[in-house]
Amino acid sequence: MTRIDRKFATLKAEGKKAFVAYIMAGDPDHATSLALMKGLPDAGVDIIELGLPFTDPMADGPTIQLAGQRALDAGQTLEKTLEMARAFRAANDETPIVLMGYYNPIYNRGVERFLSDARAAGIDGLIVVDLPPEEDEELCIPAQEAGLNFIRLATPTTDDARLPRVLQNTSGFVYYVSITGITGAAEPRGADVAPDVARIKAQTDLPVVVGFGIRTAKMAQTMAGVSDGAVVGSAIVKQIEQGKSVRQVLAYVKDLAAGAHRG
């Protein structure tokens, strides 16, 4: 079992839903993002999604795009992102870390070297949004063999014909994108999301967590109420963009986490 598997098993035994928080590594700078990352578990975060900055983030909305650019401008690299994970692991060996980003930086490092380094740094799973299931031999299967979960996204447009292919080599959990479009866009509705979550869960034993568009504790509670947990990214990153302190951002995260845990 990976840390992700153990976390969901523990939450299920406790009758709780998961709260997953995304931050961009190196935003607004390496030291600040590391301090924020270290504070997330005490704020109630069950799983950390750590964004890997990239110059061409095609699936991300303006908030995440700007965060990536701030991080790159501050000198963040793949190596420094792995350093963040290693520094986090020095004090926390339990909270799962999912590295989320695009394939290009991984390809440039070399898949075998990247997977070895990621595992050694304490990374537990990967979300690589520009590698479809047809490319599973490229990274997904090698990642699983290296002991890392490979997490896939399902969307409202993932129909019953496509869904089995999406789920085929997925592990850890399924990330259900509650709305069509880019990150941080429209607001999701529980009545719309629930049937699709049920449809996915009918075809897999994996937990299904819901993300995109969640900005408040009430929204987190609603989305967790119809799934196995809620993911918040753009709304947290927006706090950083607005210049909030680490303490202020963590207070916001704590409120969101409390909402998800009530789901």
What are the pLDDT digits (tens) for 51-106? Answer: 999 998 887 889 999 999 999 999 999 999 999 999 999 999 999 999 999 999 99
**Predicted local confidence at residue 191, as pLDDT:** 78
Query: What does pTM read for this prediction?
Result: 0.95
Query: Cα 91 to chain center, whole Å?
Result: 21
- Token pair, residue 35, equals 């301090």
Say whether pLDDT at 174 is over 80: yes
Domain residue limits, the chain: 3-261
**Predicted local confidence at residue 188, as pLDDT:** 67
**Predicted local confidence at residue 170, as pLDDT:** 97
Say whether pLDDT at 140 is over 90: yes
**Predicted local confidence at residue 187, as pLDDT:** 65
Residue 218: which H helix or E strand, with range? helix 217-225
**Predicted local confidence at residue 180, as pLDDT:** 61
For the segment 12-41, what is each residue's pLDDT rounded down to a tens digit? 999 999 999 999 999 999 999 999 999 999
- 3-261: CATH topology is TIM Barrel (3.20.20)
**Predicted local confidence at residue 63, as pLDDT:** 93
Say whether pLDDT at 184 is over 60: no
Q: Is residue 192 very low, low, confident or very high in pLDDT (cuts 50, 70, 90)?
A: confident
The CB-side HSE value for 214 (13 A sphere, CA atoms) comes to: 33
Strands (E), the chain: 18-24, 47-51, 97-101, 125-128, 149-150, 152-154, 174-177, 208-211, 229-232
Q: Is residue 181 very low, low, confident or very high in pLDDT (cuts 50, 70, 90)?
A: low
Instruction: Report the phi/psi class of residue 213: left, alpha or beta, with left for phi > 0 and alpha for psi in -120 to 50.
Output: left
User: Which residues are annotated as catalytic?
Assistant: 49, 60
Task: Tell me the average pLDDT across 203-219.
Answer: 95
By the 8 A CB rule, do 131 and 106 touch? Answer: no
Tell me the percentage of the chain whose pLDDT exceeds 90.
90
**Predicted local confidence at residue 12, as pLDDT:** 95
**Predicted local confidence at residue 186, as pLDDT:** 57
Pairwise CA distance, residues 220 & 231, whole Å: 8
